[in-house]
Amino acid sequence: MAEATHHTNVDRGPVAGPRVHPLSVVTLAFVFLFLLIVVTLLVTDLLYIQRTPMPKKVAWGAILAAVKLSAITSACTLVLVVVFAIPMGYALSRYRFRGIVVVDTLVDLPIVLPPLVIGVSLLVFFSTSLGQWIESTGLKFVYTVPGIVLCQFLVSASYGVRAATAAFDGVDRRLEQLALTLGCTPWQAFTRVALPVARNGIVAGAIMAWARAVGIFGPLMIFCGSVRYKTEVMPTSIYLELSIGNVEVALAVALVMVGLAAVALVAIHALAPGQRWWAR
Amino acid sequence: MNADRRIWALAVLPLLALLAGCGKEDLRCYVGGTMRPAIEELAQVFEKETGKHIDIDYADSGGLLIKIDQSRKGDLYVCHDPFAGALELKRLHRRIWTVAALMPSIAVAKGNPKKIQGLRDLGREGLRIGLTDPNYSTLGHICPVMFKKTGVADAIAGNVVTRSRMGGQIANAVIIGNLDAGIVWNAVIHARKEKLDLVPIEPPYRPDPKVDAVTSATFGQIDMSMVKVTIATLACSKRLEDATAFAELVNSRRGRAVFAKHGFTDSPVPPPPDDPTPAPQPNTKATEATGPVYLYCCPGIRLAAAEVIDAFTAETGISITPDYAGSGVLLSRIKASRQGDLYAPGDERYLDRAAELNLIGKRWSICYFVPVIMVKKGNPKGIQTLADLTKPGLRLALGNPDACAVGKATVQIFEKNKIAVEDYRKNLVFPSLTVNELGVQVKTGHCDAAIVWDAIAAQYADSTDVVAIPKEQNIISHVTIALLKSATQAKAAERFAAFLCSEKSQAILQEHHYTTQLAAE
CATH number at residue B302: 3.40.190.10
User: Out of A88-97, A226-235, B55-64, B284-293, which region has the weakest mean confidence (pLDDT)?
Assistant: B284-293
Q: Are A226 and B191 inside 8 Å of each other by CB?
A: no
Residue A100 CA from chain centroid, whole number: 25
**B249 vs chain A: nearest CA distance in angstroms?**
21
Let me know whether B467 and B499 are in one domain: no
Strand locations in B38-194 (E):
54-58, 76-80, 93-102, 104-109, 129-132, 160-164, 181-185
pLDDT exceeds 50 at position A1: no
pLDDT exceeds 60 at position A4: no
**Could you tell me if residue A183 is left (phi over 0), alpha (psi between -120 and 50 degrees) or otherwise beta?**
left
Cα dihedral sign, A7-A8-A9-A10: positive
Instruction: Identify residue A213 by its one-letter amino acid code.
Output: A
Compute the distance between CA of residue B510 and CA of residue B518 in angstroms, rounded to an integer: 12
The superfamily in CATH containing domain A60-279 is MetI-like (1.10.3720.10)
User: Looking at the 3D structure of chain B, how many domains does it have?
Assistant: 4
**B29 vs chain A: nearest CA distance in angstroms?**
9
> Residue B284 has what pLDDT?
40
Compute the distance between CA of residue B137 and CA of residue B164 in angstroms, rounded to an integer: 9
In chain A, the residue whose alpha carbon lies closest to the alpha carbon of B166 is A243
> Residue B442 has what pLDDT?
85
Does residue A31 or residue B149 have the better pLDDT? Answer: A31
Question: Is position B272 within any domain?
Answer: no
Let me know whether B237 and B150 are in one domain: no
Question: Is position B229 within any domain?
Answer: yes
pLDDT exceeds 70 at position A146: yes
> Residue B280 has what pLDDT?
41
Let me know whether B172 and B313 are in one domain: no
> Residue A152 has what pLDDT?
95
Question: Which of the four pLDDT bands, split at 50, 70 and 90, describes residue A30?
Answer: very high
Question: Is position B18 within any domain?
Answer: no
Does residue B512 or residue A40 have the better pLDDT? Answer: A40
| Mean pLDDT per 10-residue segment, chain B (521 residues) | 56 58 73 89 92 90 87 91 84 90 92 90 90 81 85 88 87 91 92 89 77 56 76 92 92 90 86 55 46 83 84 85 80 78 88 87 87 90 89 87 85 89 84 80 84 86 87 87 88 89 86 78 43
For residue B34, list chain A residues with Cβ-Cβ distance below 8 A: 243
Q: At A125, which helix (H) or strand (E)?
A: helix A115-125
- Sequence-ordered alpha helix ranges (H) in B357-459: 405-416, 421-425, 435-443, 454-459
Compute the distance between CA of residue B55 and CA of residue B504 in angstroms, rounded to an integer: 54
The answer to whether B38 and B195 have CB atoms below 8 angstroms apart is no
Verify cis geometry, omega within 30 degrees of 0, for the bond prior to B276.
no
For residue B67, list chain A residues with Cβ-Cβ distance below 8 A: 123, 222, 225
> Residue B316 has what pLDDT?
85
> Residue B8 has what pLDDT?
59
For residue A202, list chain B residues with Cβ-Cβ distance below 8 A: none
Cα A52 to Cα A38, A56, B12, B109, B176: the distances in Å are: 22, 12, 41, 14, 10
The answer to whether B135 and B70 have CB atoms below 8 angstroms apart is no
Check CB contact of A149 with chain B, cutoff 8 Å: yes
Compute the distance between CA of residue B123 and CA of residue B148 in angstroms, rounded to an integer: 12
For residue B7, list chain A residues with Cβ-Cβ distance below 8 A: 271
> Residue B174 has what pLDDT?
93
**A98 vs chain B: nearest CA distance in angstroms?**
34
Average pLDDT, chain A: 85
Compute the distance between CA of residue B257 and CA of residue A207 in angstroms, rounded to an integer: 50
Question: Which of the four pLDDT bands, split at 50, 70 and 90, describes residue A21?
Answer: confident
**B475 vs chain A: nearest CA distance in angstroms?**
41
> Residue A277 has what pLDDT?
44
Q: Give the other-Cβ count within 10 Å of A57's Cβ.
A: 10
Let me know whether B464 and B375 are in one domain: yes
Question: Is position B355 within any domain?
Answer: yes
User: So what's the ipTM on this one?
Assistant: 0.75
Compute the distance between CA of residue B290 and CA of residue B298 in angstroms, rounded to an integer: 24
A142: nearest CB among B2, B21, B71? B71
A72: nearest CB among B18, B34, B73? B18
Let me know whether B171 and B243 are in one domain: no
> Residue A97 has what pLDDT?
86
For residue B11, list chain A residues with Cβ-Cβ distance below 8 A: 75, 78-79
Range of the domain at B123: 104-205
**Could you tell me if residue B370 is left (phi over 0), alpha (psi between -120 and 50 degrees) or otherwise beta?**
beta
- Phi, psi of A259, deg, nearest 5: -60, -50
Angle between helices A234-243 and B167-176 (to 10 degrees): 80
